[in-house]
Chain A
Amino acid sequence: MNVVLITIISLGVLGALAAIILYFVAQKFKVFEDPRIDQVEEALPAANCGGCGFPGCRAFAEAMVKSDDISDLNCPVGGAETMSAAAAILGKEVSAADPMVAVVRCNGTCENRPRITEYDGATSCTIASSLYGGDTGCSNGCLGLGECVDACDFNAMYMDEETGLPVIIEDNCVSCGACVDACPKNIIELRKKGPKSRRIFVSCVNTDKGAPAKKACSAACIACKKCQKICPFDAITVENNLAYIDYNKCKLCRKCVAECPTNAIHMVNFPPPKPKVEKKVEESAE
């Protein structure tokens, strides 16, 4: 019994001593940090993906607390909800930024764009693109080796085996921009998600003239400028043999989609067009 009592008392005293020493040391060496940083960090999604441009959520929280003007700061993963919650902690308001999504601007599938050589190097888009323009006739198009898919931390991308192109799962995409940075050919772009997730874009980045572009890929933009002419909102520019739709000006009227002779302009999440009703021509009475 005595032994047990002695053990309990001695260990208890040791523990208490240690606690007291630690308490005073912690107080003496305490680093003052604005408590709001912790609060803002709590409101953030803790993905540490770097999509905001800062190295980790804590760094972003620090930036938010320390900046006077937070209108430039945005957390793409958390979106408007997170930003307004975080801003509220600081007693400020932020305007909701338009939700963005990554878009793969190439439709050079195995069917559209025949392979003319066989690549046998390391499985890396950067290595392949430093070697040559790719295994097809289009030197701007997707190489299909999946560096973008590897870069995605949010399970928002996968490689379609049949087409050879990456696919973006828009529900998972948080527009962090990792895939955009990973692609050595600048094929992926962050564009506005659009009302009801509808958007229109030119799915091609080929800068060759019309004839060689079409020869290499049947879905290429041939810079015929028909889309530019028909757009009622001046949203389309054609530069370097390539058409580009400005997502801020585009009003989703879809006129360009119908005009494009190679179907290079894609529309996403629109209802299918109504089937044309054939009017039976009534035979003239006479």
Chain B
Amino acid sequence: MLKTFSLGGVHPAENKFSAGQKIEVLPVPEQVSVPIAQHIGAPSEPIVKKGDEVKVGQLIAKSTGFVSANIHSPVSGKVFKVDNILDASGYKRQAIIIKTEGDEWDESIDRSEELVKEITATPEEIIKKVGEAGIVGLGGATFPAHVKLSVPPGKTCEVLILNGVECEPYLTADHQLMMEKGDEIMVGTQILMKALKVDKAIIGIENNKPDAIKHMTDLALKYEGISIQALKVQYPQGGEKQLINACISRQIPSGKLPIEVGAVVQNVGTTLAVYEAVQKNKPLFERIVTVTGKSVAKPSNFMARVGTPLNQLIEAAGGLPQDTGKVIGGGPMMGKALSSTDVPITKGSSGILIMPQEIAKRGKMEACIRCSKCVSVCPMGLSPYLLMTVSDKAIWDRAEEEKIMDCIECGSCSFTCPANRPLLDYIRLGKGNVGRIMRSRTK
């Protein structure tokens, strides 16, 4: 019996149209718009201004706190302006706009393709380098990696878990990375193990990627301490709480972080970025983005520079289909519907999903029939029907009692509800209000 997490979960149709498509490096865009808020935490502060010349990999915005990240230029050229542009958030936010000239990289970056296996950096140096390189969680959460690697005093890390699950339907970026850059990911894992001072790492991969499981298992034989765990396909296995539960059978208590049960989770894409930062001095400024959808002419996995306009990727995949109804940044369960294709790629853009009109609209909302299906699929064991009602009626103390803050916003409840109730919409509203109330208490 394959392992999986113990509570709830759903199995949406996988639709991995772009599986097996080799990573295609996109040509450098003519202009990039690099938002300064691409990560969880405080937005970065731009350190360049209009007219400045920059090189690829040069620092253009610096971290403004512990939970913040550096941002590096993805192209070489001249800074056109620092202005507010529409980005994936749906609002206009500050970005650094650079007009490309050539493709000159910063001299410190090692551009060679050879695998560098030996890890010479000390744990402290690794964490410092990861922070300097502006690495954030590439699974989509964009949490600054150096913060995760800094184990708080009093807690110990027992195991590193890598997320190669890619539980969202349609997306195949991580799958392709494991097939094409497996060795680099392995060395990256060892680097992370050194930084966390653990000797054990588990890479979780879902069973719908048998070639990746085989490939990584074969590779793992050559690397000390790393094992592969094949997992039963179930959404949201990629959520760190569920992944830890599936791999080592431990459940993180409410309100606590993974380190509480001795684990740290990193995405395989992030691990690759760590390898490149520590062994090749390359900061984070490009990533794999899957472009997919039923009507897309050429579903692909592109290597794109941060700041590239979405349009360019869509064109390279065969252009925006005629029957397009929705453009989603990310996967269909947790991705964000975009209001325009003019927005730029950011560090957190794992994929672009183009949905045809027939499936772009929600069904008509009906009254709750108390079927309790939402309760049975919630991976956190909450009662979504109740959380929606209390959020709608603004009963915030009851919402807090019912543990609304434990919700990981996976969307399984809204996915399942036979009455098409917008459960997650109201739960998010409730979380926002309860979070605000809780924060004002501690002030």
Binding site for B on A (CB under 8 A): 116-117, 120-122, 124, 126-127, 130-133, 135, 139, 208
Contacts of A122 in B (CB 8 A): 365, 422, 425-426
B210 at the interface (CB under 8 A from A): no
Contacts of A116 in B (CB 8 A): 339-340
Shortest A113–chain B CB gap in Å is 14
Measured CA separation A130–B427 after assembly (Å): 13
Choose the segment among B86-94, B135-143, B164-172, B264-272 that binds chain A (4+ C-beta atoms closer than 8 Å).
B86-94
B428 at the interface (CB under 8 A from A): yes
Give 10 closest A-B pairs by Cβ, nearest first. Answer: A132-B90, A122-B422, A122-B425, A117-B339, A127-B425, A133-B91, A132-B339, A127-B429, A133-B90, A139-B91
Contacts of B432 in A (CB 8 A): 130
SS of A interface (majority): loop
Measured CA separation A133–B89 after assembly (Å): 9
A127 & B90 in contact (Cβ 8 Å cutoff): no
B339 & A121 in contact (Cβ 8 Å cutoff): no
Shortest A118–chain B CB gap in Å is 8
Contacts of B362 in A (CB 8 A): 120-121
Measured CA separation A130–B340 after assembly (Å): 17
Q: Contact residue range for chain B?
A: 10 to 19
Shortest B94–chain A CB gap in Å is 14
Contacts of B426 in A (CB 8 A): 122, 124, 127
B361 at the interface (CB under 8 A from A): yes
Shortest B371–chain A CB gap in Å is 20
A126 touching B429 in the complex, CB below 8 Å, given contacts A120-B362, A132-B90, A139-B92:
yes
Measured CA separation A139–B339 after assembly (Å): 11
A131 touching B422 in the complex, CB below 8 Å, given contacts A120-B361, A126-B429:
no
Contacts of B90 in A (CB 8 A): 131-133, 139
Measured CA separation A122–B427 after assembly (Å): 11
- Kindly list 20 other residue pairs between chains A and B, CB separation below 8 angstroms, not including A130-B428, A130-B432: A117-B339, A117-B340, A120-B361, A120-B362, A122-B422, A122-B425, A122-B426, A124-B426, A124-B429, A126-B429, A127-B426, A127-B428, A127-B429, A130-B429, A131-B90, A132-B90, A132-B91, A132-B339, A133-B91, A208-B92
Measured CA separation A117–B326 after assembly (Å): 10
Contacts of A117 in B (CB 8 A): 339-340
Measured CA separation A122–B365 after assembly (Å): 9
Interface string of B351-386 (1 = CB under 8 A from A): 000000000111001000000000000000000000
B residues 91-117 in Cβ contact with A at 8 Å: 91-92
Contacts of A132 in B (CB 8 A): 89-91, 339
Contacts of A208 in B (CB 8 A): 92
Q: Name the CB-closest residue of A to B424.
A: A122
Shortest B143–chain A CB gap in Å is 20
Measured CA separation A96–B213 after assembly (Å): 78
Contacts of B422 in A (CB 8 A): 121-122, 127
- Tell me the total A-B contact number using a CB cutoff of 8 A: 41
Contacts of B89 in A (CB 8 A): 132
Shortest B146–chain A CB gap in Å is 29
Measured CA separation A120–B89 after assembly (Å): 17
Measured CA separation A131–B88 after assembly (Å): 10
Contacts of A121 in B (CB 8 A): 362, 422, 425
Q: Name the CB-closest residue of A to B338.
A: A132
Shortest B423–chain A CB gap in Å is 9
Contacts of A135 in B (CB 8 A): 339
Q: What are 26 A-B pairs at a CB distance below 8 A?
A: A116-B339, A116-B340, A117-B339, A117-B340, A120-B360, A120-B361, A120-B362, A122-B365, A122-B422, A122-B425, A124-B425, A124-B426, A124-B429, A127-B425, A127-B428, A127-B429, A130-B432, A131-B90, A131-B337, A132-B89, A132-B90, A132-B339, A133-B90, A133-B91, A133-B92, A139-B91
Contacts of A139 in B (CB 8 A): 90-92
Contacts of A120 in B (CB 8 A): 360-362
Interface string of B77-90 (1 = CB under 8 A from A): 00000000000011
Interface string of B404-443 (1 = CB under 8 A from A): 0000000000000000001001101100100000000000
Contacts of A133 in B (CB 8 A): 90-92, 339
Measured CA separation A130–B365 after assembly (Å): 20
Shortest A126–chain B CB gap in Å is 6
Measured CA separation A135–B340 after assembly (Å): 11
Shortest B264–chain A CB gap in Å is 30
Interface string of B188-215 (1 = CB under 8 A from A): 0000000000000000000000000000
Q: Name the CB-closest residue of A to B361.
A: A120
Measured CA separation A116–B361 after assembly (Å): 16
Shortest B327–chain A CB gap in Å is 10
Measured CA separation A122–B420 after assembly (Å): 11
Q: Name the CB-closest residue of A to B89.
A: A132
Measured CA separation A126–B361 after assembly (Å): 20
Interface centre among A122, A131, A139 (most CB of B within 10 A): A122
Measured CA separation A121–B422 after assembly (Å): 7
Shortest B223–chain A CB gap in Å is 43
Shortest B55–chain A CB gap in Å is 31
Shortest B333–chain A CB gap in Å is 15
Contacts of B92 in A (CB 8 A): 133, 139, 208
Shortest B344–chain A CB gap in Å is 16
Measured CA separation A127–B422 after assembly (Å): 11
Shortest B389–chain A CB gap in Å is 13
Contacts of B91 in A (CB 8 A): 132-133, 139
Shortest A204–chain B CB gap in Å is 17
Measured CA separation A79–B429 after assembly (Å): 35
Shortest A286–chain B CB gap in Å is 64
Measured CA separation A131–B91 after assembly (Å): 9
Measured CA separation A116–B342 after assembly (Å): 13
Measured CA separation A132–B338 after assembly (Å): 9
Shortest A284–chain B CB gap in Å is 59
Contacts of A127 in B (CB 8 A): 422, 425-426, 428-429
Q: Name the CB-closest residue of A to B326.
A: A120
Measured CA separation A53–B358 after assembly (Å): 49
Measured CA separation A157–B429 after assembly (Å): 24
Q: Name the CB-closest residue of A to B88.
A: A132
Measured CA separation A218–B189 after assembly (Å): 56
Q: Name the CB-closest residue of A to B421.
A: A122
